[in-house]
Structure formats: C-alpha cells, structure tokens
Amino acid sequence: MTASTNTPSSIITDSYFDAGLIQEGEVPNADQISSGFRKLGDLINLWQTQGLKLWLLEDLPVTLVAGQGTYTFGQTGTVIMDKPTRVIDAYYEDVNNIRRPLIPLSWNDYVRLSQVTQKGALNSYFVDKQQSLLSVFFWLVPDALAATGKAHLIIQKQVANYPALTSEMNFPQEWRIALRWGLADELATGQPQAIMDRCQQRSMQYRMMLEDWDVEDAPTKFAPDSRSQYASGRFR
C-alpha cells in the first residue's frame, strides 16, 4: 500500500479520534491542531533517540587535514550540516580505496591517551556529543600521508522537521500507526481511564513491534575488543 496518508494533519486527526476527543467525521479545531502539531514534534524528537532507525543512517566522508585531529559537525562546525545524533561506526579509506575499521574510544579511553597530538595513521576515534555540535577526534592525528585518504563516519541523521501540516513525514509509512497511537496516548490525559489505558497499551505495543523490526538483516557478529591487548591488570 503506497497511499500518501503519512502527514501530520492525518495523524493528528486520527489521534484525536483515538483519544475520544472528537467523533467520527469531525476534524480537530485550530487549538487542537496547534497542540497536536507541537506534541507530535516532541514525540518524534524523542523517538528518534530510541533504537537504530535504519533509514536515518548515512556514510559521511570526512576530508582530513594534516595536523588536524578534531572535526565538528553542526550549523557552526567545521562541517556545516544538521548535527548528527550519533556516530554508529567509522572506517578509514586510503587513496587506493582500501578500507580499514577505526576503533571507538570512550571518554575514559580518550583521557588516558598520553599524547593526543601524536601524528600518524588513524586507528581510533572519540565522539563528544554537545548541545549544538558533535565533535569527532581522530587518533592518531592524521599526518600528511593519512590526510591523502578519507575518514568515513556512519552517522545517524536527525529526523527532518515537517514544515507544514500536509508535509510528508520523515518516517516510513509503516511507522504511521505507532506515531498515531503514540500521539493519542499524549492527548488522552484526563480522559476516562479505559481510554487512557487503551491508548497507552497500543502506543507501547506498536512502537515495540517496530523497534524490534527496525534492525539490520545481516546477523550480528561479536569480536574481542582489540584494545585489550594494550591493557593489563594488577591481578594475574
């Protein structure tokens, strides 16, 4: 089915009906539309932080500069774009199109680096998530040879905000029913308990069904953390 009903207007109208606030054939008034528009935006901004959201993933090539280890992504960053929500993975590609994976670093890993300005071939990356910028620090800092290749970040983009009630949503059509009942759950506050319970149960049911479905088709593989070869403990 490819009917274009995945718009804020249609979702808001169905949600008000599901929450028992309008009757069959009625349409929300101007105040209800305005409130539903805001709450649907809040819901989408929250839901994009849950799960993987495969359609938001993008391979972002980063042009490296010799001697520059940190690259920022956002409206005021070294790379001008909407701030990505996260970095899922990363790899380096040299001038011969040969790829090798980069190792993610945590804050703990990053602060334990003894020489953050050391130059050489990239092997790791550290992501610093801030309010308006996402910063990525590559280590080693690329030298002249490393800068001839590119770093690639597998990022999760932000969901595009819809400019109008009739805009097509930046969610696939199969997500419509979950968005509809999620909004209905938000709108049902103060309604009879049976209606609130129904909206809450269906919202949770449909969202969890879609979160379980929104995974890669390839099987997940686990590998030992290559950083463990550089660490040793007190106990043997």
Question: How many domains are there within the chain?
Answer: 2
Whether residues 22 and 100 fall in one domain? no
In a domain, 235, yes or no: no
Provide the whole-model pTM: 0.83
90-117 burial, b at 16+ Cβ within 10 Å, e below that, comes to bbbeeeeeeeeebebbeeeebeeeeeee
Q: Note down the domain range covering 111.
A: 54-158
CA distances from 144 to 26, 64, 99, 118, 124 (A): 66, 9, 18, 13, 17
User: Residue 181 in 3-state DSSP?
Assistant: helix
CA angle 209, 215, 219 (to 5 degrees): 130
Whether residues 85 and 133 fall in one domain? yes
Q: pLDDT for 43-97, tens place per residue? A: 999 998 887 788 999 999 999 999 999 999 999 999 999 999 999 999 999 999 9
Whether residues 115 and 178 fall in one domain? no
CA atoms of 198 and 180, how far apart (whole Å): 13
Instruction: Give me the pLDDT at residue 224, please.
Output: 67
In a domain, 209, yes or no: yes
Residue 199 has pLDDT above 60, yes or no: yes
Contact in structure between 18 and 181 (CB atoms under 8 Å):
yes
User: Residue 169 in 3-state DSSP?
Assistant: coil
Whether residues 207 and 123 fall in one domain? no
In a domain, 149, yes or no: yes
In a domain, 218, yes or no: no
Whether residues 78 and 114 fall in one domain? yes
Whether residues 96 and 69 fall in one domain? yes
Which DSSP state fits 119? E
Residue 127 in tokens: 């992501």
Q: pLDDT for 206-228, tens place per residue? A: 999 988 888 787 776 666 666 55
